[in-house]
Amino acid sequence: MTFNSQNLSSNRKSKTFNNPERFIEGWYWAIPTDDLRVGEVKAITLLGRDLVIYRGKDRKAVTFDAYCPHMGAHLADGKIENNGLRCSFHQWKFDREGFCIDIPCLDETLPLKLKAWPTAEKYGMIWVWTGEVPLQPLPFIPELEAQDFDVTIISQFVSNCHPHALIINAIDTQYFQTFKRIPAENIFDTQELNQHAITFTNNTQGRKGNFLGKLIRPFYKNDLNYSVCYWYGSTSMITFIPNSMHVHVMFTLRLIAGGKTEGYTLLIMKKRQRTLGKFYNRIVLALGKILSQDFLKVDAQILEKIKFDLRTPVKTDQAIMQFINHLERQPALSWGTWQQARTSRDSETRDNRDKWRDDFND
C-alpha cells in the first residue's frame, strides 16, 4: 500500500459514514436473549422503526412491525398463543410468519400479513436483519466461526456521538500511541471477508516499558496480535491476546435518534470442556471484565463532546480511511423507513470513493 502525500482526502463527502440519516443494511442487535422469555412480547425501536419482538412456545424469537393492520393497535399489548401473536384490541391473530389466521367477528380470515423481519440469536443477543432476506451471516469472530464459545455481557451504554465515530476508536493508532500509550505499531494488514466484513490485523512486539505490555507479556511468547473485525460498520470484534488465550471483545452498536449510539460490550472466549477448562474461562472472563471496564471504556469525556469531522486525515489515519472506504461500498438504508437510501450526494461520493480506492487499495 503506498501513499503519495501525508495529507489525504477527508471524509466530508462520504454518504454513509457518520451520517445520522442512514445505516448499512445488515444484522443489528435488538435485545439480549435473556430479556425475552417464552410467552413474552416486547416493544423495541430499531434504527427508527417501531417493532415488536416475541418468543413463542417453540422458543424462537419473532419480529414484526409494531402496529396491527386492522386499526393500528400496538402489538406489544398483545398476547402470545402457542407460536402466534393475538392483538389485544379486537383479538385478530397472526402466525409466526405474520399471516392473519383468526378474526373472531368473521367466519373467514382476510389475506393480511404483518411485516416480519428475519430474526436470529447468537452471543447472548437477538439480532434482526433490516431487509427482506439476509444476504450475509450474523457477525462472527473469524477464528471462532465453527466453534462453541462462552460469552458475558460487560456493559450497555448510550453515547452522544455517532456509532462510526465510536467504533473507529479500535483502529485509531494515533489515539493508541499518544493517549493510551498502548504498544501498537502503525501498520494494519486488512482483509475483506465479504462485502460487509473487514479485518484489521496488527502484529507487534510493543514497547517493553509499557504497563499493558508488561501486564500481558507473561501470557505469550510471540508478537502481540491485535485484530479488529468490523461487520456492517456497526459491530466490531476485537481480539487482543495471542495464542490459546484469545479473548474477544465485541462492541455492537446501533444508531438512535439525534445521531447518537446505543450499544453493548461483550467478552467472548472459545468454550473449554472439563471442570478446569470451565473454571479457567470463568476466571479469564471475570478478569477481562474488570480490565475492560477501565481499559476499554469509551473515553466518555472526549466522545460525549466530539463533533466528529475528519477534516485533515494524515498517513497515521490510514486504517480509518480504509474503514470508511469499505463502509461506503455497502448498501445503505434510510433511518426510520428502512428504504434504500439515495441522495444527490451519491454521484459526488462515487468520485470521492474512487479517489480513496486509488489512495488506499493495493
Residues at the interface with ligand FES (CB under 6 A): 68, 70-71, 73, 87, 89-90, 92
Shortest CB 65 distance to ligand FES, Å: 13
Please check whether residue 55 is in contact with residue 39, taking contact to mean a CB–CB distance below 8 angstroms.
yes
Please check whether residue 177 is in contact with residue 186, taking contact to mean a CB–CB distance below 8 angstroms.
yes
Tell me whether strands 248-256 and 260-270 are parallel, antiparallel or unpaired: antiparallel
Between 92 and 123, name the residue whose CB sits nearer to ligand FES: 92
Shortest CB 91 distance to ligand FES, Å: 6
Q: In terms of Cα–Cα distance, which of 112, 97, 149 is closest to 267?
A: 149
Shortest CB 70 distance to ligand FES, Å: 3
Shortest CB 97 distance to ligand FES, Å: 17
Shortest CB 93 distance to ligand FES, Å: 9
Please check whether residue 332 is in contact with residue 14, taking contact to mean a CB–CB distance below 8 angstroms.
no
Between 73 and 138, name the residue whose CB sits nearer to ligand FES: 73
Between 102 and 150, name the residue whose CB sits nearer to ligand FES: 102
Between 114 and 256, name the residue whose CB sits nearer to ligand FES: 114
Rg (CA), the chain: 22
Write the secondary structure of the chain as one string of H (helix), E (strand) and C (coil): CCCCCCECCCCCCCCCCCCCCEEECCEEEEEEHHHCCCCCEEEEEECCEEEEEEECCCCCEEEEECECCCCCCEHHHCEEECCEEECCCCCCEECCCCEEEECCCCCCCCCCECCEECEEEECCEEEEECCCCCCCCCCCCHHHCCCCEEEEEEEEEEECCCHHHHHHHHHCHHHHHHHHCCCCCCCCEEEEEECCEEEEEEEECCCCCCHHHHHHHHHCCCCEEEEEEEECCCEEEEECCCHHHCCEEEEEEEEEHHHEEEEEEEEEEECCCHHHHHHHHHHHHHHHHHHHHHHCCCCHHHHHHCCCCCCCCEHHHHHHHHHHHHHHCCCEEECCCCCECCCCCHHHHHHHHHHHHHHHCC
Between 22 and 86, name the residue whose CB sits nearer to ligand FES: 86
Between 97 and 354, name the residue whose CB sits nearer to ligand FES: 97
Between 106 and 146, name the residue whose CB sits nearer to ligand FES: 106
Between 71 and 290, name the residue whose CB sits nearer to ligand FES: 71
Between 110 and 257, name the residue whose CB sits nearer to ligand FES: 110
Shortest CB 87 distance to ligand FES, Å: 3
Shortest CB 263 distance to ligand FES, Å: 33
Shortest CB 286 distance to ligand FES, Å: 47
Between 67 and 175, name the residue whose CB sits nearer to ligand FES: 67
Shortest CB 100 distance to ligand FES, Å: 9
Please check whether residue 136 is in contact with residue 127, taking contact to mean a CB–CB distance below 8 angstroms.
no
Q: Look up residue 39 and give its amino acid.
A: G
> What residues does 252 pair with on adjacent strands?
235, 264
Shortest CB 44 distance to ligand FES, Å: 19
